[in-house]
Chain A
């Protein structure tokens, strides 16, 4: 199965700054079938990005995804207070679908 490694484990930034989260796969992700989710404490995950770069319905355009092959990035252009949360990447190009271990985005 494909192992996804997210970095950094924790990212400390201030509102208004730019956040760059990385997701690296142990093998190439077929067709860039890579998704990003946001999870806040006590809540279910929310889909942000699918197919590496397609924003989900209702997701602000400050969220963007990029990458292909084994290296993918989630960028939040200007952090809002509500963006501080846990972020997971997930590949769905190969069975079984797998998740990264998560990056915690915290307020500096």
Chain B
């Protein structure tokens, strides 16, 4: 059974940093691209970032480019999101998601974690 478990969310002041983690199990982690997708409370879904199986191809939404860094550790079956210079508009549930296709960045998401809430507020 595929499981994705996010952690690291919390309350942080504007301008500060936070690092999210996602622990994956139930599939061959290093065969798949992985993503972060966020959802502001009561709002719709927004793709944030994606990383290929071998970390050679990384993409960001314009709204986070230059502030967020995605990474992965295939030996630990883990995905990360380093979030710097946080803004109030970054407040959202952050979901870790798995690509639906093997060995490529296809940008659709066949399994999701339950999410972790990041609140940016003074």
Contacts and interface: CB of A to CB of B under 8 A. Distances in A.
Contacts, number: 53
A70 to B, nearest CB: 18
A95 B110 contact: no
Residue from A35, A37, A44, A45 with most neighbouring chain B CB atoms (10 Å):
A44
A15 B47 CA distance: 33
A92 B61 CA distance: 13
Contacts of B112: 44-46
A90 interface: yes
B67 interface: no
A73 to B, nearest CB: 18
Given A44-B114, A50-B100, 16 more contacts: A35-B109, A37-B45, A43-B114, A44-B112, A47-B108, A50-B110, A56-B100, A92-B106, A92-B108, A96-B47, A97-B47, A98-B47, A99-B45, A99-B46, A100-B44, A102-B44
